Amino acid sequence: MAAVKVLQWGFGAMGSGMAKLVLEKKTLELCGVVDMREDYIGKDAGDILKREKTGAMIYNNFEEAVEKTSPDLVILATGSFTKEVYPDLERIINKKIDVITIAEEMAYPWAQEKELANKIDDLAKANDVTVLGTGINPGFVLDALVIMMTGVSHNIEYIEASRINDLSPFGPTVMRTQGVGTTPEEFAKGLENGDIVGHIGFPESIHMVANTLGIELDEVKQEREPIISNVYRETPYVKVEKGMVAGCRHIGYGIKDGNTVIKMIHPQQVLPELEDINTGDYIKIKGTPEINLSIKPEIPGGIGTMGMAVNMIHLVKESGSGLKTMADLPIPRMIR
């Protein structure tokens, strides 16, 4: 069987890691890269990955890359929001190429962008291609994994899932959007004007779980509060004095008939271990049977995202056309 030719669109922290992983797999071939960074254009992907030449060149124009490399699938790792990635998704679908994106909202775009989601689904079907949104979260820990755990349930009264993670490996963009290193006053202001958003993906994960299980929610509510540090914390990108904000505690509620039926808790901060907080992923399902899943420490976000996007490639290639979610495709598995 010929290897699947993968074009990596977006060659940042995630995209470059995915490209490396694609290069390790015999059933996949990295045929090219698209990124808008001027200093990357015309180089071999190996030059940026600091390894031997790969033969995969970096283009700044998607259409030119397609013409030169004839990819079977694109991994799109450029942005977070459905509206933001939609124009590029449209270009990929119109070229009749399957696409996996890690844009958080695309894990379940019906949650906040119903019209666009239906448009993507129609376009994908008309062009006979598959579109999948995935990642570590949304895409796995707080949704696909929760859904899979319910495979043994007879009935469910309440679902609670939490991800306690360490933001230290992430760069300036994440520090800014999580409000790390701000004063409590700046954090409050940032929440108000939208500069600080906390986690992107609660409406997506909560709706994906609810809809898959046939729970009709009345609404999804979210709360965000600052995690104030009691100690000095420092990473390569940020310094947090005692009394300043080390991260954002973000909680999402899926509500039905006035009761919370799904709760998701995601406190994200830098260096939680400095205050004796251990990272971990936890799923509790109240019902028959009672389920308590603990993963300690957390599944690392970056490595997990790269793995999930790449490991879904064959499943996407084998899937029928349309806009799919992680709940639609077979159970994810590692590509050897």
What residues make contact with ligand NAD under the rule CB under 6 A?
Answer: 10-15, 34-37, 77-80, 88, 102, 104, 135-139, 173, 305
- Taking the complex as a whole, how short is the minimal distance between the CB of residue 202 and ligand NAD, in angstroms? 12
Q: Which is nearer to ligand NAD, 173 or 288 (CB)?
A: 173
Query: Which residue's Cβ has the minimum distance to ligand NAD?
Result: 12
Q: Cα separations (Å) of 87 from 114, 119, 229?
A: 16, 12, 40
- Taking the complex as a whole, how short is the minimal distance between the CB of residue 62 and ligand NAD, in angstroms? 8
- Taking the complex as a whole, how short is the minimal distance between the CB of residue 173 and ligand NAD, in angstroms? 6
Task: Please report, as a single letter, which amino acid is at residue 199.
Answer: H
Long-range Cβ contact pairs of 47-53 (< 8 A, separation 24 or more)? 48/11, 48/16, 49/16, 49/19, 49/20, 51/20
Q: Which is nearer to ligand NAD, 13 or 156 (CB)?
A: 13
Task: Please report, as a single letter, which amino acid is at residue 99.
Answer: V
* Contact indicator for 268, 196 with CB cutoff of 8 Å: no
- Taking the complex as a whole, how short is the minimal distance between the CB of residue 140 and ligand NAD, in angstroms? 7
CA distance linking residue 97 with residue 90, whole number of Å: 10
Q: Which letter does DSSP use for residue 110 in this model?
A: G
Q: Which is nearer to ligand NAD, 37 or 239 (CB)?
A: 37
Q: Which is nearer to ligand NAD, 305 or 325 (CB)?
A: 305
Q: Which is nearer to ligand NAD, 212 or 229 (CB)?
A: 212
CA distance linking residue 46 with residue 8, whole number of Å: 13
| CA-wise closest residue to 158 among 77, 302, 260 | 260
**What is the end-to-end Cα distance of the chain in Å, rounded?**
15
Strand bridging mode 155-166 / 219-228? unpaired
Q: Which is nearer to ligand NAD, 32 or 139 (CB)?
A: 139
